[in-house]
Amino acid sequence: MNNKKSTNVVWQETKIKREHREKMLKQKGVVLWFTGLSGSGKSTVASLLEKSLYEMGYLTYLLDGDNLRHGLNSDLGFRSEDRTENIRRVSEVAKLFADGGIITITTFISPFKEDRSNARKLLGEDFVEVYIDCPLEVCEKRDPKGIYRKARDGEIKNFTGIDSPYEAPENPDITVKTYENTEKQCVQDIIEYLREHEIL
């Protein structure tokens, strides 16, 4: 969908660079890319993680999939090409946040490996893929938004896990299993990873 229609544009260099912002904030910019089925616990774990990091003195921002579809991505549907454009836009926004020195948490189903791979290519070492692992049957049982039932009844088309595929990560940076562990433990596991890799 990105046809790069902009012409006659030149990158404007600025005097304040990323290293200046990170020094001021005393932290490193990074993108924690949460992926997983609807109902897997992405938003719940992400919100708890953000709260924990805030209490530890870090500046964060949470880019939530549903929230961005109220504004930035409100013109997109759920066809494959729309999902791809959704992730492309989010990747670009997340890149800006990371450049600002902010610990950025994104919560998007992002079902296609290719789209996540493109996000990793764009973000480079700033990209940390967090797989929120939870079986479909557990997600359906939870069904916090009542959307699996609607998808099964045919009221929602192209729903991930029902009539649209979810391609699980093969080598995520972090995997947390929300069907085996508490949300608090999942958050602790992510923080431990960030510490081990000197992101925190």
Residues forming the annotated binding site for ATP? 36-43
CA distances to 86, 136, 144 from 128, in Å = 18, 23, 26
- On whether the CB atoms of residues 52 and 187 are closer than 8 A, the answer is yes
- On whether the CB atoms of residues 85 and 1 are closer than 8 A, the answer is yes
The letter for the amino acid at 184 is: K
**Phi, psi torsion values for 89, nearest 5 degrees:** -65, -45
* Spatial distance between the Cα atoms of 24 and 162, rounded to a whole number of angstroms: 46
* Spatial distance between the Cα atoms of 176 and 4, rounded to a whole number of angstroms: 37
Q: Which residues are annotated as a binding site?
A: 36-43
110 a catalytic residue: yes
- On whether the CB atoms of residues 41 and 180 are closer than 8 A, the answer is no
Catalytic, out of 6, 74, 80, 110: 110
Residues annotated as catalytic are 110
